[in-house]
């Protein structure tokens, strides 16, 4: 099915945060809203039809998560990224930001340091500070052309137990798709954090197939390394339905080498 990417959709009267916020809050009438993951394309016809079919039923009670939800996520990860994930290693969350808060509360204690690579998606800070943890900044380097990780600086930030690194991949807002080499270098640092349990939430977004990010765990599995990786992903944004939480909820796939799987609730 061909999709018309040139069609202009008038979003007037829909209370679109993307378009209304700059005008009503920032008092800027001619702002170009490039700050939010909300595309002005219509959702794919298959998504629209699925929502219509559900709405036509007319009764909106408390739904269970259908088996097809996890089956679709498992198939996507295997088909697109070569990553085989078992259903028992997955849990559904209402969204990316709630999942970040769950991870912070599950894997750290009040007062613990949580590392973020700045500049970064602002809810990362809220998830740390609102849960009474301490933000530790590991600023990205800018070489005049692109941003890179400052791994030397990162090593100096690792100074206490119970620490966590919130990794944004691809990175928002700098647009970097981290290479496998960069993620593996990060993984080697994680292995050096013996007696600690770092957790790695990864916020995913739509990227070119030629720049497809590495999805699988970024470090070798060692029996003596208790690291935990949490990969948080959402299908909503890339299907032009970022606000439809109940229609296309997020899922967190959790892997805890080498002792099996972990899950959050």
Exposed (0-12), middle (13-18) or buried (19+): which is 106, by Cβ within 10 Å?
middle
Q: Rounded to a whole number, what is the distance in angstroms from the first to the last CA of the chain? A: 38
Alpha carbon distances (Å) from 215 to 33, 67, 113, 221: 29, 23, 25, 15
Per-residue confidence band for 217, with pLDDT thresholds at 50, 70 and 90: low
Measured CA to CA in angstroms, residue 236 lies from 9, 37, 56, 68 at distances of 19, 10, 22, 16
Average pLDDT, the chain: 78
For residue 105, is pLDDT > 60? yes
Question: What pLDDT shows up at residue 218?
Answer: 53
Q: Do the Cβ atoms of 107 and 113 come closer than 8 Å? A: no
The count of other CB atoms within 10 Å of the CB of residue 132 is 13
Instruction: Please give the pLDDT value at position 225.
Output: 44
Q: Which residues contact 175 (CB under 8 A, 6 or more apart)?
A: none
Cα 257 from Cα 265, distance rounded (Å): 19
pLDDT at 258 over 50: no
Reported confidence tier of residue 223, pLDDT bands at 50, 70, 90: very low
Write down the pLDDT at residue 196.
43
In the chain, the domains with their CATH numbers are 68-255 (3.40.640.10)
pLDDT range class, residue 153, cuts 50, 70, 90: very high
Over residues 156-198, the pLDDT tens digits come to 887 655 578 899 888 888 989 899 899 889 888 877 775 344 4
The residue among 85 and 265 whose pLDDT is bigger is 85
pLDDT of res. 12: 85
Q: Regarding predicted confidence, which is higher, 160 or 134? A: 134
- List pLDDT tens digits, range 36-81: 878 888 988 988 999 999 999 999 999 898 899 899 989 988 998 8
Position 57 scores a pLDDT of: 95
Q: What gap in Å lies between CA 18 and CA 257, rounded to an integer?
A: 40
């Amino acid at each position: 099915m061909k999709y018309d990417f040139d069609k202009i959709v008038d979003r007037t009267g829909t209370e679109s945060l993307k378009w209304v916020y700059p005008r009503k809050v920032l008092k800027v009438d001619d702002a170009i809203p490039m700050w939010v993951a909300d595309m002005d394309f219509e959702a794919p016809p298959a998504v629209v039809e699925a929502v219509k079919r559900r709405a036509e039923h007319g009764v909106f009670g408390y739904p269970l998560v259908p088996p097809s939800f996890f089956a679709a996520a498992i198939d996507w990860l295997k088909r697109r990224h070569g990553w085989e994930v078992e259903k028992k290693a997955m849990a559904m969350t209402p969204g990316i930001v709630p999942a970040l808060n769950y991870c912070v509360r599950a894997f750290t204690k009040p007062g613990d340091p949580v590392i973020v690579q700045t500049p970064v998606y602002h809810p990362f800070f809220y998830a740390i500070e609102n849960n009474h943890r301490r933000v530790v900044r590991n600023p990205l380097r800018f070489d005049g052309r692109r941003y890179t990780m400052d791994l030397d600086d990162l090593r100096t930030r690792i100074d206490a137990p119970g620490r966590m690194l919130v990794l944004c991949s691809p990175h928002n807002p700098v647009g970097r798709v981290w290479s496998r080499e960069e993620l593996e270098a990060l993984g080697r640092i994680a292995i050096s954090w013996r007696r600690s349990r770092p957790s790695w939430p990864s916020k995913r977004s739509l990227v070119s197939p030629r720049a497809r990010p590495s999805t699988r765990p970024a470090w070798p599995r060692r029996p003596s390394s208790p690291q935990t990786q949490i990969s948080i992903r959402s299908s909503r944004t890339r299907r032009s339905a970022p606000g439809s939480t109940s229609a296309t909820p997020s899922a967190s796939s959790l892997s805890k080498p080498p002792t099996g799987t972990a899950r959050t609730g």
